[in-house]
Amino acid sequence: MKALVTGGTGFLGSHIARGLVRRGHEVRILRRKTSRLDLVADLPVEHAIGDVLDPESLRAAMEGVDWVFHVAAVADYWRNDPDRIYRVNVDGTRNVLEAAEQMGVRRVIFTSSAQAIGWRDDLRPMDETVRFNWDPHLTPYGHSKFLAETEVFRAIRRGLDCVILNPAVILGPDDINQISSSTVVEMARGNVPPTAPPGGATLIDVRDVASAHVAAAERGRTGERYILGSVDLTHKAWLRLTAHILGKSTRLITLPASVVLLAAYVADALRRLGVKLPIEGNQLRLSTRMMFYNCEKSWRELDEPRVPIQQSIREAYEWYRARGDI
């Protein structure tokens, strides 16, 4: 098969491209002229210059393509204004889907997010049946991905073959923009206080997410959502594991949710004053929740995760250190 990967020069996209090449598929990546090529310099792939906001460039990039992996998105929402998040993540997805229809693409694999899944008040792990019910202001990224999924389901009703993947927190080497793995960098630099918020998260290695994408193209069911995750950790356990791998002190105090929520308001106020912080208010608010997901469907129908999360953290640290980032 011939595959196009949007966002193919990024953290997840480059790993998907690499996985496709390993399985013998022809790969083309969509990138901007200004995209950094560090992660794909050694890959035998075609390069198409374009942008998800440029429909003509999308149609040209999809010439002769069987599969489209739509990975490109604004994920670091705390560094971007909401208008850009919605424009790229929603309008860009609509453009990709329309181009895929026009160019006769066989299947689109859409990279959504676990944040597009709703919240359960009873604290049971969320699964694919839970609809988005967050306050959009709390998670504009999650809301944008939910709206993008709405565009995908519309395309499916028009006859386009699509599969939706909802990765949880992705860790591992090559996180070039320091999104999910930023904790490793900040802790190595001594910028993480010996405290932890009371919530938790589902984590997964980037290579396992990439493998699930390839599996979704090969055998995923049309119109299905698949949550991708490997292990559930409280933030305290996650930070202690990271500290242990980095040789830092593992003594941490779990803060009450009330203290974290107060810190969120302070962070909002400082950001309005122009103070740059490594975290923003809504990230702190979300960190008080147990964001755990039931991933059995993807394990059963696609691939079970194989990379231990300890390895993900260690190799992320080694990758940043080799680059001189820490």
CB-CB contact of 235 with 196 (8 Å): yes
SS3 19: helix
Tell me what pLDDT residue 7 has. Answer: 96
Please give the structure tokens belonging to residue 81: 């204004």
* Average pLDDT by stretches of 10, the chain with 326 residues: 96 97 97 92 95 97 98 81 92 98 98 94 90 91 96 98 98 91 88 90 98 97 98 96 92 92 90 80 90 97 96 95 87
Query: So where are the chain's domains?
Result: 2-172+201-230+292-307
Tell me what pLDDT residue 78 has. Answer: 62
Tell me what pLDDT residue 80 has. Answer: 65
d(CA 127, CA 227): 7
236-259 in b/e form (b: 16+ CB < 10 A) is bebbbbbbebbebeeebebbeeee
Tell me what pLDDT residue 224 has. Answer: 98
Residues in CB range of 156: below 8 A, 6 or more apart: 162, 222, 223
Residues labelled as active-site residues: 145
Tell me what pLDDT residue 275 has. Answer: 82
pTM for this entry: 0.95
Tell me what pLDDT residue 271 has. Answer: 83
d(CA 161, CA 184): 38
- Please report the DSSP string for 264-318 in residue order: HHHHHHHHHTT---SS-HHHHHHTTSEE-B--HHHHHHT----S-HHHHHHHHHH
CA distances from 110 to 47, 105, 166, 175 (A): 20, 13, 9, 20
**CATH code of the region 2-172+201-230+292-307:** 3.40.50.720
Dmax (CA) for the chain in angstroms is: 57
Count of CB atoms situated within 10 Å of the CB of 325: 14
Tell me what pLDDT residue 278 has. Answer: 72
